[in-house]
Structure 1
Amino acid sequence: MGKESYIGGDYIETTGGDAKTFAGKSIVNSSVQQFAQTGETAGVSYKANAAPPSLGSLDLIKIKINTTFDVCHDEVSSFSEFKNFWILEDKGKYYHWLSLRGNSDDKNKPDPLPITLASTDNFVFTATFKTKGPITCKIRVQDSNKKYVFKEQQHPKKNKDEEHELTFTCDTKPYKDTVQYLENFTLHFEYSEDGTNWVPMKSVKFCLYLTWKTPLYNNFENLPSVSDTMQIKCQPNKNQKNIFETLLWLGCKGGSGKGNTGKTKEENEEIVLDSIFKQFETLKIIRRREGQNRPDGTSYLTKNWSAEGLGYWRGISAVDANPLTDARDPRAYMFYDAATGAYIERTVGLF
């Protein structure tokens, strides 16, 4: 049904859809008799003034999370193999979100990109903005659930196409002492030129693995073979420490919401571990991206164990039973299947 508006002696008809009017200041009707509306909803609705939609004066182009650990693919075979580290490169620097992925290796990485923090960490990140025209404004950020609310930052006046970095900090720790798996964690950015009317800028999505405490990264034994160690470091990114995504996925998904309901630290540890290992009761654990394809259609993982699960439960003996002891032989670090005489490469799921 159409809507009819009478303004003075003029006649305006709207045939459908919403009509919204934005003004920098108030709209004053000097006479009720000169403004009328007919339609399914009678009358005029008066509400609080709202800011107009963004005209694109300011663009968000990059985000770097201040994190102790990054996340990597489960099949990293070399610390220099950039394509299997879940970070993004732009002009020789590394980020966790880019408005445009220019590096060819980055185009096939997950979107949203996985990131990890400890629940006891302050959430801090640096965002890069690019101006389309001279503008000075305030910028605020919060997540969809309004758990993480970051301090407002002042963006200084910049000329067209200039880039500027701002660091945002959330002083509160809304999930402190709990494990969380936030698969679609979204940050919403807004800006305001007057500090009152806020304009949506952009929303950015991540997969957030929130660990109970700081991971005990250094407790893992650093074995001679790169594929056997959990001390993964990304050489291009200044040897930044990384954690296999499946470790984070199984731990955070299984323990999500747990960690602060017990009376003691030991009791909470037990609750978290029980929740995580409940997933193992099926004897069919798979990796995070099992059976999934990259954007170009190729598989994330070279082996697909989505049907049978990982090999620990397939009758394969412990590594100590491997008959090969010569450290120069790479098979000495593989699992040995005594029934078939086969040597099977170890991965994150083959303990």
Structure 2
Amino acid sequence: MAVKVLFFGDIGIDDAIALIYSHLNEEVELAGVVGDYGNVPREAAISSVHYLLDLLGLTGKLKVIGGAETPMTGEEPAFYPDIHGEYGLGPIIPGVYEGVIENFFEIVRLIEKYQDELVIVNVGRLTSLATMFILYRSLMSKVKHYYIMGGAFWVPGNVTAVSEANIHADPIAADIVFTYADGVTVFPLNVTDHAIVTPKMADEIANKGEMKIVKTLIDYYYEFYKKRNPNLIGSPIHDLLPVMAAVDDSMFSCQMLPVHVVTSREDPHRGHTIADIRSYSTPKAKRHRVALQFDYFSFYRRFMSTMTGGAFNG
């Protein structure tokens, strides 16, 4: 039976790849998509989701829900068109979506419908998810599992020296989720930085797979990463790993760790995710499952097989 996934994303290139992978993988059933601010403004994210659903033949079959526009910090969000493009799809400009945007509280209906069959994959800012815990804490306990991309443990951040972008953008929301959510697996930069897709892989997907857009997205993404670090052989598709894990997380090595988020706006370590690994740490501290290593070869084979429709022989 396919895993029912409610996808929260702030659509960027890696979000788009994760959505395409979800559709192509027969073991995933998308239950809905929540479009949030993050890599791009919320309106652009929603437009890009609709563009992708049209490309995938899912228009009218899947609800696209309007998520958060700004973080709980009250600040104006920073966007990253230099990394992901104006609409989060690299060079592709789908234009403003002018149709109906599903009400945020449609999330409640989906959780009530699927309950313990539903998993939530959150690969963007945690503002919308935290809002659900503020308003519907008991309902959120019915969700089977939460797969979250965010954080950096004992490795450099990607927006500050210590902080990862999803957590740094709204550390208050992240702290709420880590405080109240049960059944969480976190995918920090420790693993997602190594989910590398190379130009050669993109070429093979274009040659053997149906979704030619994948090469366009990955090539654009790689151009940014290559300028920042010429030694990289490809670009990390961060947001793909939580979707993969929702189906089968056997390629990950995880630890149960208490997670603390630095929330102060003035603190230079804002957004830092801190895990207490002392053997004598507070025994009652809430712990979450944190992925710290993974098998790249397993990732490579699963990704390429799915994206080429089984035509991959490597």
Provide the TM-score with structure 2 as the length reference. 0.26
Q: Which has the higher contact order (CA 8 A, sep 6+)?
A: 2
Higher helix proportion (structure 1 or 2): 2
Who wins on radius of gyration, i.e. which is larger? Answer: 1
- Which structure has the highest strand share of the two? 1
Report the TM-score, using the length of structure 1 for normalisation: 0.24
